[in-house]
C-alpha cells in the first residue's frame, strides 16, 4: 500500500470516465429504468446525475469566489426525481448518454488543467481547489458506476491506485488497507468491511493538503 499517493489529476478524470463507459457499455441493452444499486434513482438518471456533477464542478471552477452554487436551472424527469441540469434524450440511446458523460468529463479535465491552484470553487464540503474538483469528479464516477453496474448486472473493477489517491485527497481519515477500491466503497457507504459496519452517513473534506 502506498502511504503517500500522488495528486488527483485531470488525467485521472478522463481515465476513470473512459473506464466507466467501457464497463457500462455491455449493459447498453439492459433495463436502464432499473434502480441503480441501492439508490432510488434509475440507472439512466444516475448517469445523468454523474454527468451533471462533472459539468457543475467544471463550471464552479470558472466562478472563483461565487458565494454558492451557480444558479443553473435544473428539473427532474418525474415528480420526486433528481433535478439535473445536464440530461440526455432517452430516444438517442445509451451510446449518446455515454457521449454526454465523456464530454462533461472533458470539460472538467480542461478546467482542472487551466485553473490556477489559488482558485476555490464553492462546494458543500468546503471550497474546492482544482485538485479537489478533479478528485470529486473521480469519486462520483467510481461510486456511481458501481451503482449503475449493479443495476445493469455488469462488472466494474476500477484502478485501486486511483481510489487510493482520491481517499488521500478527500478522506484522509479513512482507515486504509491494501485494497483501495474496497476502502472507497466503505467510505462512501456502499459496503461493510470486517470490523467496520456499513456507513449510513458520509462525506468528504476539500481542505487542501497544505492547509491540513
Distance CA 8, CA 169 (A): 8
Under a CB-based contact definition with an 8 Å cutoff, are residues 154 and 26 in contact? yes
- Rounded to two decimals, what is the model's pTM? 0.96
User: Tens of pLDDT along the chain (212 residues)?
Assistant: 446 789 999 999 999 999 999 999 999 999 999 999 999 999 999 999 999 999 999 999 999 889 999 999 999 988 888 899 999 999 999 999 999 999 999 999 999 999 999 999 999 999 999 999 999 999 999 999 999 999 999 999 999 999 999 999 999 999 999 999 999 999 999 999 999 999 999 999 999 988 87
pLDDT value of position 211: 87
Residue boundaries of the structural domains of the chain: 10-187
Report the pLDDT value the prediction gives residue 2, as an integer from 0 to 100: 45
DSSP per-residue string spanning the chain? --SS-----HHHHHHHHHHHHHHHGGGTTS-TTSB-TTSSSBHHHHHHHHHHHHHHHHHHHTTTT-SSS-----B-SSTTS--BS----GGGHHHHHHHHHHHHHHHHHHHHHHS-TT--B--TTS-B-HHHHHHHHHHHHHHHHHHHHHHHT------HHHHHHHHHHH-TTS---S-HHHHHHHHTTS--BTTBPPPSS-------TTT-
Q: What's the pLDDT tens digit per position in 162-210?
A: 999 999 999 999 999 999 999 999 999 999 999 999 999 999 999 998 8
Task: Indicate the CATH number for domain 10-187.
Answer: 1.20.120
Amino acid at each position: 500500500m502506498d502511504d503517500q499517493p500522488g495528486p488527483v489529476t485531470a488525467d485521472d478524470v478522463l481515465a476513470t470516465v473512459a473506464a466507466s463507459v467501457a464497463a457500462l457499455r455491455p449493459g447498453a441493452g439492459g433495463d436502464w429504468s432499473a434502480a441503480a444499486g441501492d439508490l432510488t434513482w434509475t440507472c439512466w438518471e444516475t448517469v445523468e446525475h454523474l454527468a451533471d456533477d462533472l459539468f457543475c464542478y467544471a463550471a464552479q471552477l470558472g466562478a472563483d469566489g461565487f458565494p454558492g452554487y451557480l444558479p443553473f436551472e435544473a428539473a427532474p424527469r418525474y415528480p420526486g426525481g433528481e433535478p439535473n441540469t445536464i440530461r440526455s434524450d432517452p430516444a438517442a440511446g445509451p451510446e449518446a448518454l455515454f457521449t454526454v458523460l465523456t464530454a462533461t468529463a472533458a470539460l472538467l479535465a480542461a478546467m482542472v488543467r487551466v485553473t490556477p491552484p489559488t482558485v476555490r470553487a464553492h462546494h458543500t464540503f468546503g471550497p474546492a481547489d482544482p485538485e479537489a474538483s478533479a478528485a470529486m469528479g473521480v469519486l462520483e464516477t467510481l461510486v456511481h458506476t458501481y451503482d449503475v453496474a449493479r443495476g445493469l448486472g455488469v462488472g466494474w473493477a476500477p484502478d485501486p491506485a486511483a481510489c487510493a489517491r482520491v481517499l488521500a485527497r478527500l478522506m484522509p481519515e479513512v482507515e486504509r488497507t491494501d485494497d483501495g477500491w474496497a476502502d472507497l466503497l466503505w467510505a462512501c457507504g456502499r459496503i461493510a468491511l470486517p470490523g467496520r459496519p456499513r456507513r449510513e452517513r458520509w462525506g468528504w473534506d476539500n481542505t487542501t493538503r497544505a492547509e491540513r
